[in-house]
C-alpha cells in the first residue's frame, strides 16, 4: 500500500468514525417513532426501553382513525401539498422568468422587496394574514385558505430567477429572431431547461406545505378540513394523549416524504447547490 492510498484509507476511516455516531443520533428518534408506533400506550410508558418494533401498529392506526379522521386529513394534506406545489412552482417560475429576462422600470425595486420579505419571520406575518384571509375574505375552513396565501414564495422566485439568469440569452434571442412568441419561449424553451431547478424547488415546497402546522391550524380548525399535522396535533388533549396513535400517524406522515426524498435527492442537492459554483 502506498503512503498516499494509506492516508486516503485513514481519512475514510476517520470520516466514518465521526459520521456514524452522528447518523445514529439523527436516525434514533425516527427509529423510536417507528418502534412506538407499533406499541400500545402501556408499552410506550413502560420503564423497560424497547428498541425493536412490536405488533400494535394496526390497532394504533384504528384508534387514530377513530379519534380523528386521519385518512381524510392525509387526503387533504396530499391534495393541498400537490396543488400548492404545482401552482407555486408555476407562479414562482413566471415571476423568476420576468425578473431574470425582462428589463422594466422598477425591476430592482421588486427584487429588493421580494428579498426583503424573506427576512420577515412567519410569526410577524401570521396575524395580519389570518385577519385578511379569515375576516376580510371569509375564507377560513376552505381549500383556498390552505393553498393560496403561501403561494407566492419569495425564495422560490429568487431560486427560479437565478436558474433563468444562468441560461444563455442567445438561446432566447434565437427564438425571438425565429418569431417564437414570448409565451412559447417561456413554455417551450425556458421551462424545459429549468426542469432540474423546478424539481428541487418542488421538493422544497412540497415539504414545506406537507409539514406546515401553524397556518392550517389557525385557518382550518373544523374537523373535516384539517391537514394531517393538525389532525395529529388535535390528539394531544388535556386529559388523554394517545401516543401510540400519534406515533402511527407521524410514521404515516413521514414515510412518503422519506421515500420521495431518497428518490429525488439528486435533484434536491443539485438544486440547493445550483449557482454555488460556476
Partner 1 sequence: MSELSLNNVVKRFGALEIIHGANLEVKDGEFVVFVGPSGCGKSTLLRMIAGLEDISGGEINIGGKVVNDVEPADRGIAMVFQSYALYPHMTVEQNLSFGLRMNGNPKEDTEKRVQHAANILQINELMQRRPKQLSGGQRQRVAIGRAIVREPQVFLFDEPLSNLDAELRVQMRVEISRLHKQLGTTMIYVTHDQTEAMTLADKIVVLRSGNIEQVGAPLDLYDDPANQFVAGFVGSPKMNFLKATVVETAAGTATIALVGEDNVRLTLPVSAAAQKGADVTLGVRPEHFTDAGQGDTDLTVTVDVAEHLGNTSYIYATTASAGQLIIERPESRNAGQRDTLTVGLSARRSFLFDSAGKRLR
Rule CB under 8 A: which residues touch partner 1?
168, 170-171, 173-181, 184, 188-189, 192-193
- C-beta closer to partner 1: residue 138 or 188: 188
Least distance CB 93 / partner 1 (angstroms): 16
Least distance CB 255 / partner 1 (angstroms): 34
- C-beta closer to partner 1: residue 192 or 237: 192
| Radius of gyration (C-alpha) of the chain in whole angstroms | 24
Least distance CB 181 / partner 1 (angstroms): 7
Least distance CB 278 / partner 1 (angstroms): 16
- C-beta closer to partner 1: residue 183 or 222: 183
Please state the φ and ψ torsions of residue 236, each to the nearest 5 degrees.
Answer: -85, 95
Residues sharing a CB contact under 8 Å with residue 152, sequence separation 6 or more, in sequence order: 88, 91, 92, 95
- Selection from 231, 241, 215 nearest residue 150 by Cα: 215
- C-beta closer to partner 1: residue 172 or 206: 172
The three-class DSSP label of residue 39 is coil
Alpha-carbon distances of 275 from 8, 42, 198, 272, rounded to whole Å: 30, 52, 14, 8
Amino acid at each position: 500500500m502506498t503512503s498516499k492510498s494509506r492516508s486516503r484509507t485513514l481519512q475514510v476511516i476517520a470520516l466514518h468514525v465521526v459520521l456514524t455516531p452522528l447518523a445514529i443520533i439523527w436516525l434514533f428518534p425516527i427509529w423510536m417513532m417507528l418502534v412506538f408506533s407499533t406499541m400500545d400506550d402501556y408499552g410506550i410508558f413502560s420503564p423497560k426501553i424497547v428498541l425493536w418494533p412490536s405488533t400494535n401498529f394496526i390497532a394504533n392506526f384504528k384508534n387514530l382513525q377513530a379519534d380523528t379522521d386521519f385518512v381524510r386529513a392525509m387526503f387533504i394534506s396530499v391534495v393541498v401539498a400537490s396543488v400548492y406545489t404545482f401552482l407555486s412552482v408555476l407562479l414562482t417560475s413566471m415571476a423568476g422568468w420576468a425578473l431574470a429576462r425582462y428589463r422594466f422600470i422598477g425591476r430592482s425595486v421588486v427584487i429588493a422587496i421580494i428579498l426583503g420579505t424573506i427576512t420577515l419571520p412567519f410569526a410577524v406575518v401570521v396575524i395580519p394574514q389570518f385577519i385578511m384571509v379569515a375576516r376580510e375574505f371569509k375564507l377560513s375552513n376552505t381549500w383556498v385558505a390552505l393553498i393560496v396565501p403561501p403561494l407566492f414564495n419569495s425564495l422560490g422566485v429568487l431560486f427560479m430567477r437565478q436558474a433563468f439568469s444562468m441560461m444563455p440569452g442567445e438561446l432566447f434571442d434565437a427564438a425571438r429572431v425565429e418569431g417564437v412568441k414570448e409565451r412559447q419561449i417561456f413554455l417551450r424553451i425556458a421551462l424545459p431547461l429549468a426542469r432540474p431547478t423546478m424539481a428541487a424547488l418542488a421538493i422544497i415546497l412540497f415539504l414545506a406545505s406537507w409539514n406546515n402546522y401553524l397556518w392550517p391550524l389557525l385557518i382550518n380548525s373544523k374537523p373535516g378540513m384539517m391537514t394531517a399535522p393538525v389532525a395529529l396535533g388535535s390528539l394531544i388533549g388535556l386529559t388523554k394523549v394517545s401516543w401510540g396513535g400519534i406515533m402511527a400517524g407521524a410514521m404515516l406522515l413521514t414515510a412518503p416524504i422519506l421515500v420521495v426524498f431518497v428518490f429525488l435527492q439528486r435533484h434536491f442537492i443539485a438544486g440547493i447547490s445550483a449557482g454555488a459554483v460556476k
